[in-house]
Structure 1
Amino acid sequence: MPNERLTTSEIGLIWTQYMQSSMSVQILLYFSEKVEDSNIKEIIDQALKINEGLTTNMRELFQTEELPVPIGFDEHDVNREAPRLFSDSFMLMFVETLAKTGLLIHGTTLAGTVRKDVRTLLSNTLSETSNLFNNCIDTSLDKGVYIKAPHIEVQDKVEYIQSKKYLSPFFKRSLNTVEMIHLFENIKTNMLGELICTGFAQTTNSTDIKKYMNRGKEISSKHIQTFTTIFKESDINTPMGSDAYVTNSEIAPYSDKLVVYLMSVLSATGQGNYSTSSTASLRYDLVLTYQRLSVEIALFAKDGLDLMIKNGWLEESPQAIDRRQNRKINNSI
């Protein structure tokens, strides 16, 4: 039985996957050229192979369905000859984050897909991404650069919440382990964001984008400080940083279009993380903090979209034909 036409949700989800995987390919091509550690290079090349395969398969899907193939990102968006901008540990941490995001995106896309060939493709990609994520963690542990969540002493028996005071924003009880893991993960992602913005701010020639990246760095730094303070209030040691760093290179490895799009993807991921963290937290002061910080990220993301529109970089996702406009044209003839 031949495959049915793609549904609207499938087209939209596949389009998003294509845009992000084509961007990831260019990022990873540069990483593969500049990484020095052979074990980390294997991880980068594994991630590159997954994203190249996904980009090719998605392009073929669009062509088979006679749909316009997205422009996305290509060799014009990367300068593989640019000097090394990030340390090996940064690259490994970036691929770990890429794998985490991929697990969420591929899972979401799979859940919204009906056609068997597309489900098979996404299921295989999900399995490959899971393997990549596990390899990232194993390699980070072997290298001694993995940033671990805090160790704590926990109560020795199960207890029930006895009072609404447990939820109160005014009575700041000790953090529970669920709240801790979300705070910890948000510190890690903001550490990554801070380094990315630092690198892109020092390599772009655009005043507007330099200003935008410096603003992103300030937001990430402020959010790290906010979450660190919450840990300290519960007398819990905050996660220690790795040896991830940015070099002093001032030559851009990526196009301005790619770096601003990457920031839009990271901002969307950050908003999703904060929304999940807010839902999982039972201390209302944490809920309010996540909601407040989410607004700041949303405004930052909106300004990034404005930058892309201003420069003609924001590609439209597939949309329905405007039949109302066609009727207006026909009526005027």
Structure 2
Amino acid sequence: MGEKQLKNRLTASEVSNLWAAYQSNSVTKVGLSYFLNHVEDQDIKALLEECKLLSEQELKEISTLFQAENYPIPQGFTEEDVQKDAPRLFSDALYLEYVFNMFIIALNTYSMALSVSEREDVVTFFSKCLDSARKLHLKTKILTKEKGLHAKHPLLPVPKEIEFVKKDSFLSGWFGKRRPLLGMEISNLLFHSKRNALGHALITGFSQVATTKELRSFFEKGKDISEKHLTVFTTLLRNESMDQGTTMMTSEVSVSKTAPFSDKFMMYIVTSLINSSIGQYGVSLSSSPRHDLGLHYTRLIADISKYANESANILIDKGWMEQPPIAADRKELAK
């Protein structure tokens, strides 16, 4: 292999992020194909169609990049993972909330992928992905407001002058005088309460339609965890007289017991939510100076990390975990 060819090969970061983007877009394409078979609201339907078209386009572009490298195209998820004619499991409102959260995750992952990419064509690809996600995120947010589904965030008083922290009580939380929540702390708590409400609703639906007792038990445990975490966040907000964005979404789940998705697909969705929550809790931990909040996040991260490990073991045991790009095992090769 010539020096020029070697320099132009995909880096570890690039191939890993492209691989992950392929998995994510294949999930989106499959999920939306089922949503579109049941959605009734025409505005939400148009948005879902646009999202599905985007996922198909990005899948094609990633495949082209891999083919040029003679890199195996991931299996991802296919039409075999969905039963489009299965009865409706979720409402239009939940479709919209799901898509809204999907783009929040996309904005984070694509911005990170862009920041670590070096090759010009890969940089261009992730730049386009980030721009498309930004536009659709905004469109989704506007639509949630139009449909009366957007929870307005609370307002903060405008300070009369610049102030500096003078007391160590700024950091306390368990004992003594507890300061009010910072704006960033409020934002984090609202985000996590809404994310757990969505997760609880999704896992409720999955627990109804999973085909094995093992997976139903796994999803039931996830319901309990998300409800417990939601209670922590809503309690903290209510202690500050802030209840916005804390409504459960379980009523948006039908009573259907027919699975629209494969067990593998549902496990992937839940695993993605778990991994995203671990990362978001970590970010919130670093931006929450009040000690009681830090301890809450530390405990909740440990809680869902155990659940993530259980999820990984199930995926491996079932043969559902596609191996991500991996370094060569030099010790094994030396044998």
Give, in angstroms, the shift of residue 49 of structure 1: 1.4
Whole-Å separation in 1 of the counterparts to 2:44 and 2:93? 8
What does residue 190 of structure 2 align with?
Answer: 184
Q: TM-score, length-normalised on structure 1?
A: 0.94
Give, in angstroms, the shift of residue 148 of structure 1: 2.1
Task: Determine if contact 2:25/2:58 at 8 Å carries over to the other structure.
Answer: yes
Deviation per CA, 1:269-321, whole angstroms, max 9, x where unpaired?
A: 10111111111112111011011101111111110011101101011112233
Matched, 1:175 2:175: no
What does residue 293 of structure 2 align with?
Answer: 286
Matched, 1:117 2:124: no
What does residue 75 of structure 2 align with?
Answer: 71
For the residue of structure 2 that corresponds to 1:165, the secondary structure is helix
Task: Determine if contact 1:146/1:242 at 8 Å carries over to the other structure.
Answer: no
Task: Determine if contact 1:263/1:301 at 8 Å carries over to the other structure.
Answer: no
User: What letter is aligned with 2:203?
Assistant: C
Whole-Å separation in 1 of the counterparts to 2:290 and 2:311? 32
- The verdict on how the C-alpha distance between 1:174 and 1:81 changes in structure 2, with shifts beyond 3 A counting, is same
Task: Determine if contact 2:190/2:246 at 8 Å carries over to the other structure.
Answer: no
For the residue of structure 2 that corresponds to 1:5, the secondary structure is coil
Q: Which of 10, 24, 28 is the matching residue for 1:24?
A: 28
Q: Which moved more, 1:186-195 or 1:151-160?
A: 151-160
Deviation per CA, 1:184-239, whole angstroms, max 9, x where unpaired?
A: 00001000000000000001111111111111111111111111111122233343
**Percent sequence identity over aligned pairs:** 33
Q: Which of 36, 40, 53 is the matching residue for 2:57?
A: 53
Deviation per CA, 1:106-152, whole angstroms, max 9, x where unpaired?
A: 11111111111111111111111111000101111011111222345
Whole-Å separation in 1 of the counterparts to 2:126 and 2:89? 32
Give, in angstroms, the shift of residue 158 of structure 1: 3.0
Matched, 1:247 2:251: no
What does residue 232 of structure 2 align with?
Answer: 226
Matches within 5 A, 1:79-158: 79-158=83-162
Q: Which of 180, 201, 219 is the matching residue for 1:213?
A: 219
Matched, 1:298 2:305: yes
Q: Which of 255, 264, 280 is the matching residue for 1:257?
A: 264
How many residues are paired up? 328
What does residue 331 of structure 1 align with?
Answer: none
Task: Determine if contact 2:194/2:246 at 8 Å carries over to the other structure.
Answer: no
Whole-Å separation in 2 of the counterparts to 1:148 and 1:158? 27
Deviation per CA, 1:78-120, whole angstroms, max 9, x where unpaired?
A: 1111111100010000000001110111111111111111111
Task: Determine if contact 1:147/1:241 at 8 Å carries over to the other structure.
Answer: no
Q: Any gaps of 5 or more consecutive residues in structure 1?
A: 329-333
Whole-Å separation in 2 of the counterparts to 1:226 and 1:320? 40
